[in-house]
Structure 1
Amino acid sequence: MRMLVMFSSTIGSAVGWWAGAPFGIMTAFMVSMVGTAIGVWAGRRLATHWGL
């Protein structure tokens, strides 16, 4: 479960950074944090669904 959450949060963070980067580094950082939170949520939900 921990590995899945870590992987999904990393992916969410990268997607957030990619989405926010055209608007500046601070925007990229903030959107990356939101992406991390969404990744953690999605990873935990997926792990629970799979029974991990």
Structure 2
Amino acid sequence: MEKLMGWVGATVGSLVGWYLGALVGFMTGACLSLVGSGFGLWAGRKLAREWLES
């Protein structure tokens, strides 16, 4: 479950980063997509761990 939530979080984070960065430019979109992917992976795994503990 943790891996699935990490994958979903990374996908959503990447899309949000790309959308916000693409408003400025292509390279900004690519960089923010990487940052959003990492943040989404962290948040998704953390959320899954909290759900599994309770």
The TM-score, its normalising length taken from structure 1, stands at 0.92
Q: Distance in 1 between matches of 2:23 and 2:3?
A: 31
Q: Distance in 1 between matches of 2:23 and 2:5?
A: 29
Where do 5+ consecutive residues of structure 2 fail to align? none
1:3 CA drift (Å): 1.0
* Residues 37-48 of structure 1 mapped to structure 2, 5 A cutoff: 37-48=38-49
Q: Deviations over 1:1-52 (max 9, x none)?
A: 1111101100000000000001111000000111001101101110110117
Match of residue 12 from structure 1: 13
**Moved runs in structure 1, 4+ residues, more than 3 A?**
none
When the two chains are superposed, the root-mean-square deviation of aligned CA atoms in Å is: 1.2
Where do 5+ consecutive residues of structure 1 fail to align? none
